[in-house]
Amino acid sequence: MAWSTRELAELAGATVKTVRYYHRIGLLDEPERAANGYKRYQVAHLVRLLRIRRLVDLGVALADIPAVEESDETAEQALRALDAELAASIERQQRMREDLALVLRNRTLVDLPPGFDEHAADLTDADRSLLLVYSRLFDPPAMAALRDLHSAPRAAVETEFDALAEDTSEDARQRLAERLAPEVRRQMREHPRLKDAPARSPHGAEYALSVIVKGLVELYRPAQLDVMRRLALLLNADG
C-alpha cells in the first residue's frame, strides 16, 4: 500500500502544502515515484511526518528539529529551554489575567500601569495620567514603590487638593500646602525609592525631570500647580 501526498496529509492531520514545505526544507524525505510520476508514501513517511508534528505541537521550532534529533543530550537541553520559555509565558499570561480581572471590576484601571489596584482607580484623571508617564520614566523599584503607595486609601488632605477651586485664596492655598507637607514627608520616609526616582531613571535625570515638569504643567490646574510650588518650597526647607 502506498499513499498520495493528499492521502498522507489527511492521515497525518496536515495539509499538502505543509508536506511539500517539509520536503523543501529537508525535514521529510521525498518518496519514490510510481511510473505515472506520482509520489508513493510509505508507513515510514507517515511516522516521520507524525514525529515532526509531535515536536511542533510541543513548541519546537522547525529549524530546531534537526538539533533535537541529533542526540539525547541535545534534545534534553532544547526541551528544557522550551519548558522554561513556556513557564515564563504562562506566568506572564497569569499576570495578564489578574490585571484583566481588576479592570473588569473597575474599568478606570485600564488607564493605569499594570499592578495598581482599586485604591488607585479612585485617583483623578490627572493623577492616573501622570502614573502612566512615570511608568515610562522610572525603574521597576520606583514603580513598585508607587504601587505600594497607592495601595491604601488617599489621605483627606489629598482629596482636598484634588477638589481645589481656582478661586481659592492665597492664604487657603498656603495652609493646604502646609497640611500636605507632613503627608508627603511620611510618604517619602515609607517609600525612599521615590525621592531619587528621577535620578535613577533609565533615561537620565535631566530628561526625566523635564518630562515630569511638562506633565505637571499640562495635567494639573493653575491653583493646584501653585500649591505644588508652595509645597516644594516647604519640602526644600527641610534640606
Residues 6+ apart with CB under 8 A from 110: 103
| Whether residue 121 is found in the same domain as residue 30 | no
pLDDT exceeds 90 at position 34: no
Q: How confident is the model at residue 186 (pLDDT cuts 50, 70, 90)?
A: very high
CATH for 42 = 1.10.1660.10
Domain assignment present for 71: no
Domain assignment present for 133: yes
Name residue 71's beta-bridge partners.
none
| Whether residue 50 is found in the same domain as residue 127 | no
Is the separation of the CB atoms in 50 and 12 below 8 Å?
yes
More confident position, 16 or 74: 16
Query: How many structural domains is the chain composed of?
Result: 2
| Whether residue 153 is found in the same domain as residue 36 | no
Residue-number span of the structural domain to which 43 is assigned: 5-57
pLDDT exceeds 90 at position 114: no
| Whether residue 119 is found in the same domain as residue 232 | yes
Is the separation of the CB atoms in 131 and 123 below 8 Å?
yes
Domain assignment present for 215: yes
pLDDT exceeds 70 at position 239: no
| Whether residue 147 is found in the same domain as residue 221 | yes
| Whether residue 120 is found in the same domain as residue 231 | yes
Taking the C-alpha atoms of residue 12 and residue 50, their distance in angstroms, rounded to an integer, is 6
> Mean pLDDT score of the chain, rounded to an integer?
91
pLDDT exceeds 70 at position 177: yes
| Whether residue 203 is found in the same domain as residue 115 | yes
Domain assignment present for 26: yes
Cell matching residue 77? 537541553
Helix, strand, coil tally for the chain in percent (to 5): 70, 0, 25
What is the model's pLDDT at position 21? 96
Domain assignment present for 77: no
Q: Give the mean model confidence (pLDDT) for residues 200-225.
A: 96
Q: Give the mean model confidence (pLDDT) for residues 154-170.
A: 94
Q: How confident is the model at residue 18 (pLDDT cuts 50, 70, 90)?
A: very high
| Whether residue 202 is found in the same domain as residue 132 | yes
Taking the C-alpha atoms of residue 109 and residue 15, their distance in angstroms, rounded to an integer, is 44
Domain assignment present for 64: no
| Whether residue 52 is found in the same domain as residue 115 | no
